[in-house]
Amino acid sequence: MNDDTLRGQAHQLKKLLEELANCCQIHRHYEVNLFSLPYAEAKCLLILNQLKQCSLKKIAQKLEVSKSRVTRIVQSLARKGFVTVKIHPQDSRNKVCEISPKGYGLIQKLEDFRLSLHVNVLKQINPQEREIILNSLHKLRQAMSQANNIK
């Protein structure tokens, strides 16, 4: 394969990735409006769902935002009744956050909504092509991770 072909394919990949990112952004806006929940708050809830009980510092690392930003996100979630915030048992200078029963209910709705979006996407692709596409996306993710030395 010559360099011109590779450069052309790289431009095509770039364009397709940008278009996919735009589609995802449209879905995020729809989700924000549907659940009346900013995307950062939804992402925070889903991270908490994975970690169960977590410090604000750890949430900030996972969200890749400042601790002050996470504090505002968590305060908003707490006002809405989706999380509880307590003083850390070993270090009273820090706080830990956990999901409330109301928050678990919202997480289930978020996950169901996101799954239904993906099901609707897959329904538009013939079953034989789905496996090829999913395998290709997996290979693409691996190649992108290796190219960036990210796992």
pLDDT reported for residue 146? 86
Q: Rounded to whole angstroms, how far apart are CA atoms 68 and 73? A: 9
The model's pLDDT over 16-64, given as tens digits with 9 standing for 90+, comes to 999 999 999 998 899 889 999 999 999 999 999 988 778 888 888 988 8
Please return the burial class of 80, using the count of CB atoms within 10 Å of its CB with bins 0-12, 13-18 and 19+.
middle
pLDDT band at 1 (very low <50, low <70, confident <90, very high): low
The model's pLDDT over 78-89, given as tens digits with 9 standing for 90+, comes to 999 999 988 877
β-bridge partners, 95: 87
What is the topology classification, in CATH, of domain 37-147? Arc Repressor Mutant, subunit A (1.10.10)
Are the CB atoms for 142 and 134 separated by under 8 Å? no
pLDDT reported for residue 149? 73
pLDDT reported for residue 56? 84
Mean pLDDT of 105-111: 94
Q: pTM to 2 decimals?
A: 0.77
Helix ranges, 52-151 (H)? 56-63, 67-79, 101-123, 127-147
Per 3-state DSSP, the chain is made up of helix, strand and coil in percentages (nearest 5) of 75, 10, 20
The C-alpha torsion from 30 through 34 and 37 to 41, rounded to 10°, is -60
Q: Computed over its alpha carbons, how large is the radius of gyration of the chain?
A: 19
User: For residue 151, is pLDDT > 60?
Assistant: no
pLDDT band at 94 (very low <50, low <70, confident <90, very high): confident
Mean pLDDT of 106-113: 93
